[in-house]
Structure 1
């Protein structure tokens, strides 16, 4: 019960279609298992409701679109209305090729703006609305999902750029809010077996799921097998808990040693 009586908002708690569990859903479930009351936020209300049902422990669902600041503010306000406080904000939204991402010589302005708005602007605006609540409480945890792509070779420009910017913003929020007892950290997932990472590539490449998975597995040093959403969820649980009470401003790789291999 590492999060007993804590209130958490997970933005991106639903998931895209696929055979496995996504990071947001797995994190909502793990947080609830450890005692948190979780507001499962997603633009797809049905998917958020499914996550809330799976999580249990009084979890609730809320519809919000990260492209609309008002809806992000409303999600934060809903958690406070339901439970009187906000202990954890977890931003788990990201898009790459599904948003039209491409190499630098092929990216369109529209695709770059779309990916930037979802990956980065949404995170910044969610934090904007969470900080006043956490400052009044004199405590809170802000988490996000960046990516190992932020620091490794990655072919698509908007995803890499936005995920790298999340590291800088994490550091900024951490140092500017330390005096309020607010911690801010981000997670760098490596090659993961999630619907966004694998099933999206299946739809865009025409390869089978087994082919995409095999290509990705071969690149992972640890056991030659991708991680799962539960690996990310457990990392988020640690960073959200009091066990990480002296950790702020860090980017934690969850990647099976891939970044070490790359150097």
Structure 2
């Protein structure tokens, strides 16, 4: 059927947080960027750490893809504008935005959390996505439409997280996605959200995790299979492609079924 295609040839996509710190496997942003490139898209790889983004660019180029890197802080409006300008300046259009930047943020309950750290956590996890969309939407409108994918978390779908900032900010991303989907539908811009579960990425490794804890995480789902950045990236690539042309405002858990159940079956 016309319009149903995973092919992104001729399309241009921005991925924020497109680098990946050293470690086993790849981060969500790097995986998404590589998979988008494999589908034919040209990539703008934005990251605050230039060497991490450059490694993603190298990996894409090694497979015959085309990408450029932009060093920037997505909490700053001028950097967000520059990231979008890099896409339109090089290729004359923008078709997809993947808002991938996020941090764990400060620990603690409402009683314990530091207010300044709380404000910074919301700035990184929520406001940065608004800022990127602020500059990306006009460019997508000029291209005839596009797709925005916000990276949330299963922590934004249910309670039980030991800290207040992370689930609060990710819950905001979920409803921001729904609101943006309504606002920009008239411009043929689809807005969806991917909510990863407990995937094992270099960022997770950097925080330190015992083999026992890693095994407990694996078992806290229906499939009981460990996820990786590639699983998240595959969902992102799908939501940017024509295969998802009838999806907007969707909240997509990528979590091996962890949010589908109240408790794991015994035995």
Band of TM-score, shorter chain: over 0.9
Aligned to 2:165: 158
| 2:42 maps to which of 37, 42, 53 | 37
The structure with the greater share of residues assigned to helix is 1
Aligned to 2:26: 21
Q: Offset at 1:215?
A: 2.2
Write the distance in 1 (CA, Å) between the matches of 2:122 and 2:107.
10
Aligned to 2:15: 10
Q: Offset at 1:237?
A: 0.9
Listed as ranges, the gaps of 5+ residues in structure 1 are none
Q: Is the 8 A contact 2:106 2:163 kept in 1?
A: no
Q: Offset at 1:23?
A: 0.3
Q: Deviations over 1:173-218 (max 9, x none)?
A: 111111111100010111101122x21431xxxx53x233112112
| 1:80 maps to which of 81, 88, 100 | 88
Provide TM-score, normalisation by structure 2.
0.91
Q: Is the 8 A contact 1:145 1:187 kept in 2?
A: yes
Aligned residues: 254
Aligned to 2:154: 148
Q: Is the 8 A contact 2:150 2:193 kept in 1?
A: yes
Aligned to 2:202: 195
| 1:170 maps to which of 137, 161, 177 | 177
Q: Is the 8 A contact 2:106 2:165 kept in 1?
A: no
Q: Deviations over 1:94-118 (max 9, x none)?
A: 111xx32323332111221121111
Write the distance in 1 (CA, Å) between the matches of 2:185 and 2:147.
11
Q: Deviations over 1:123-167 (max 9, x none)?
A: 010001111111222301111110000012222111111111111
Aligned to 2:3: none
| 1:104 maps to which of 104, 110, 134 | 110
| 1:62 maps to which of 70, 91, 98 | 70
Aligned to 1:89: 97
Aligned to 2:243: 243
Q: Is the 8 A contact 1:17 1:199 kept in 2?
A: no
Aligned to 2:133: 127
Aligned to 1:71: 79
Write the distance in 2 (CA, Å) between the matches of 1:12 and 1:116.
16
Aligned to 2:143: 137
Q: Tell me the C-alpha RMSD between the 2 structures.
A: 1.4
Aligned to 2:261: 261
Other structure's SS at 1:132 match? helix
Provide TM-score, normalisation by structure 1.
0.92
Write the distance in 2 (CA, Å) between the matches of 1:176 and 1:5.
26
Q: Is the 8 A contact 1:101 1:115 kept in 2?
A: no
Aligned to 2:252: 252
